[in-house]
A and B are shown apart, each in its own frame.
Chain A
Amino acid sequence: MSSENTFHGWACSGKDQPLEWRELPLKKFEDDDLEIRVTHCGICGSDIYALDNLWGGTDYPCCVGHEIAGVVTKIGYNVTEFSVGDRVGIGAQCDSCGDCDECNNDKENICRKGVTTTFGSHWKCGTKTYGGYADKWRGNKRFVFKIPDGLSNEEAASFFCAGVTTYWPLKNHGVTKGSHVGVIAVGGLGHFAILWAKAFGAHVTVFSSSERKREDAKQLGADNFVVSKDKEAMKAQVNTLSHIICTSYNEGFDWIDYLYALVPNGVFIMAAVPDLPLSNIPGRVLVFRQISVVGTAIGSPKTIREMLEFAVATGVRPWYKKYPMEKASEAVQAVRDGKPRYRFVLEQN
């Protein structure tokens, strides 16, 4: 059992090491903090990258998970926005400097002093941050969000990373009725991208490496589905898209067809988090067509709140499957094996 200042969570002690359900320290309880009983946690591709040290620099032991949903059990002296019993969620960011230009203008997700991530980082007080494959979470109120009445906790969890990571750049780069959005890859991020783009009123073309997900893409609302290896089909996409959102980037990514699918002044959003540099971009095509390649970083608290309301209003819901928290290892392996259609959510009992 966890004590007052500890929690239990699935910890990984090193690359290729198995997850172990361990007691770990919670941060010191401060006046701006609240504590939650975790009910659900979505499994994000980032979790795997961190566990497997694919970006390098994983600070083991790590406890991952940043699509957290739970119920408030304790609030700090300064916390007026939440009450015990509120259903809330936390995403990939749990703190920021609070002082820079960005933080002062609802852009905490690009805080220039560096974002504090929900796992793999350190709180200002020095304690390591741990994520939601756990029974409890404790942290700063600024990055905790009330789950609206229209969403259950198990539905809400995935919005806090995959949801906002795709919602924000589509919104930020002006996707609206009349836009034509290309979505590269149908996965956790990709399926959300399709749902959001449709909810914004756009036409959606999905690009996938095989035929397998054509039916799913259609059910998600996509208007068009193109197998990226089919050169003839790709040629037919020339000058059709106002935006592309890329949710999967690997070695050998072939930029040229996508840069031609965009209309002049088109925007290519990199929503995936590649573990290798971007390369092989035909520079002249970028210049002559005035294409933008843009990076995007989750979303600010303001954006997250807006997204949740928008989801309730438009009915956007992730496609997810639940696993019991005890089966986290099995669920994580299934994600490594590419099994989700399209999110796995751990459920705590």
Chain B
Amino acid sequence: MHEQMKVLFIIKMCSVHSFDPILHIFFFMLSSPTSTVADNDSFYGWACPGKGQPLEWRQLPLKTFQDDDVEIKITHCGICATDLHVMNSDWGPTDYPCVLGHEIAGIVTKVGADISRLKVGDRVGIGAHCDSCHQCKECKNDQENLCRNGTTRTYTGHWSNGDKIYGGFGTKWRGKEHFVFKIPDNISNELAASYFCGGIATYAPLKKYGVTKGSRVGVIGLGGLGHFAVQWAKAMGAEVVVFSSSDKKREDAKALGADDYIVSSATTAFQENNCTLSHIIMCTSFGIEFDWSPYLSLMEPNGIFILTTAPGSFLEGIPASIMLHRQITIVGAAVGSPKQIRDMLTFASEKNVKPWIQKYPMEKIEDVILNVKGGKARFRIVLEV
């Protein structure tokens, strides 16, 4: 407990017995939310007080500073569809008030006693996971994102010490160094932010499932994730075909490097592309109405269909015959581990893969959320503090 707080506590205890109202008022003023004592251990952020309610700019507590923690001054935070889903309790009840944002970029302002990798002044980022058990097989094998005792998300839940977790739509963030990553010198903070969720969610499975020169990758959905997927696959040497529900993004797809663009209703194009894709990466949300058959028909034998988004309900109507005859794999991808995130940053830095961002001041968060909901982002919205 802070020394000044201890003194105040003693004064308060004395004042209880003598009931001195002046001392009470003095104590109250010193411990009020605007005091500098509380500022060191708190941050300001856009909090969602409840489902459907407008965001409020609030002062909230940072986690208790521990020896393996770092603290950062946030400079930028990207918006991911997940943020909207969690604010809206779409995937289960959210513990309100919540502060979302898990594509965080900032500058280290404080490091714990046990910290050796990062130092004050480093430009760093944090993504969707901020802790794990470090004991299970996955954690011990560079797969902390699959921790079997439950991953800790950057925007919900509690730290192992019990403190509530808040995300990056705010001024500061404090958490475990293990899940904080140095941003390469040739990438600015505003560009870096989006890598930490949208970037890694697509990089990790494309790399893991062997996308390389000679691969032909279908990207379904050209949005935050999809625009990253196109660039990663091209940088890995592959050909890329973008699938979209309309013609609107054809020019953008070309500018991103895509070799072809097929509108989902174009039956002939699907037939012409039968058995041509080594990989498909699903980069948009979808529901039970998704028609698997035309997409699986595009896959070569041993083709791999990657799911990066967590669909609301069930996968339905997957035609068994083609799955078997072409030995197709349908596999899920859960963002990436610290090791994969570091690999990605090195790759992005070398290959000059950069997101297309639209920057807005943090105060405009309500407006930009509407843009994200309306699918208007081209292709990632980043808030700047």
Q: Which residues of A contact B378 (CB under 8 A)?
A: none
Name the CB-closest residue of A to B288. Answer: A279
Contact with B along A286-304 (1 / 0, CB 8 A): 1111111111110000000
Residues A280 and B324 in contact in the complex (CB < 8 Å), given A287-B332, A288-B334: no
Contact between chains at B146 and A270 (CB < 8 Å): no
Q: Which residues of A contact B334 (CB under 8 A)?
A: 287-290
Q: Which residues of B contact A284 (CB under 8 A)?
A: 91, 310-311
Complexed CA–CA distance, A130 and B313 (Å) = 44
Interface status of B8 (Cβ within 8 A of chain A): no
- Residues of A111-128 whose CB lies within 8 A of B: 111-112, 114-115
Q: Which of B300, B312, B318, B325 has the most CB of A within 10 A?
A: B325
Interface status of B315 (Cβ within 8 A of chain A): yes
Which of B72-80, B157-165, B301-309, B342-350 lies at the binding interface?
B301-309
Interface status of B143 (Cβ within 8 A of chain A): yes
Range of interface residues on A (Cβ < 8 Å): 35 or more
Residues A295 and B327 in contact in the complex (CB < 8 Å), given A283-B310, A284-B310, A289-B334: yes
Contact between chains at B302 and A110 (CB < 8 Å): yes
Q: Which residues of A contact B148 (CB under 8 A)?
A: 239, 263-264
For the complex formed, measure the closest distance between the CB of A161 and the CB atoms of chain B, giving whole angstroms: 13
Contact between chains at B318 and A290 (CB < 8 Å): no
Contact between chains at A115 and B325 (CB < 8 Å): yes
Q: Which residues of B contact A111 (CB under 8 A)?
A: 301
Name the CB-closest residue of B to A278. Answer: B318
Contact with A along B284-320 (1 / 0, CB 8 A): 0000000010000000111000011111111111111
- Residues of B317-344 whose CB lies within 8 A of A: 317-334
Name the CB-closest residue of B to A283. Answer: B311
Contact with B along A309-335 (1 / 0, CB 8 A): 000000000000000000000000000
Contact between chains at A279 and B329 (CB < 8 Å): no
Contact between chains at A107 and B301 (CB < 8 Å): yes
Name the CB-closest residue of A to B328. Answer: A295
Name the CB-closest residue of A to B138. Answer: A264
Interface status of A281 (Cβ within 8 A of chain B): yes
- Residues of A235-290 whose CB lies within 8 A of B: 239, 249, 263-265, 270, 273-290
Q: Which residues of B contact A265 (CB under 8 A)?
A: 143, 146
Contact between chains at B314 and A288 (CB < 8 Å): no
For the complex formed, measure the closest distance between the CB of B28 and the CB atoms of chain A, giving whole angstroms: 46
Residues A264 and B320 in contact in the complex (CB < 8 Å), given A278-B315, A287-B308: no
Complexed CA–CA distance, A293 and B324 (Å) = 11
Complexed CA–CA distance, A277 and B334 (Å) = 25
Q: Which residues of B contact A273 (CB under 8 A)?
A: 320-321, 324
Interface status of B275 (Cβ within 8 A of chain A): yes
Q: Which residues of B contact A263 (CB under 8 A)?
A: 137, 148
Contact between chains at A102 and B320 (CB < 8 Å): no
Contact between chains at A295 and B325 (CB < 8 Å): yes
Q: Which residues of A contact B309 (CB under 8 A)?
A: 287
Q: Which one of A249, A277, A290, A297 lies within 8 Å of B146 (CB-CB)?
A: A290
Contact between chains at B323 and A278 (CB < 8 Å): yes
Q: Which residues of B contact A295 (CB under 8 A)?
A: 320, 322-329
For the complex formed, measure the closest distance between the CB of B215 and the CB atoms of chain A, giving whole angstroms: 13
Contact between chains at A279 and B302 (CB < 8 Å): no
Interface status of A60 (Cβ within 8 A of chain B): no
Residues A277 and B307 in contact in the complex (CB < 8 Å), given A110-B326, A293-B329: no
Residues A283 and B319 in contact in the complex (CB < 8 Å), given A112-B300, A264-B148, A273-B324: no
Complexed CA–CA distance, A276 and B323 (Å) = 12
Q: Which one of A107, A239, A280, A287 lies within 8 Å of B316 (CB-CB)?
A: A280
Q: Which one of A107, A285, A297 lies within 8 Å of B324 (CB-CB)?
A: A297
Residues A270 and B313 in contact in the complex (CB < 8 Å), given A278-B318, A288-B332, A288-B334: no
Given A110-B325, A290-B333: 13 more A-B contacts, CB < 8 Å: A111-B301, A270-B320, A278-B317, A278-B318, A280-B314, A288-B310, A289-B334, A292-B329, A292-B332, A293-B329, A295-B328, A297-B324, A297-B327
Would you list 7 pairs from A and B whose C-beta atoms are within 8 A, ordered by A residue? A110-B326, A110-B327, A112-B301, A275-B320, A283-B310, A291-B331, A295-B325
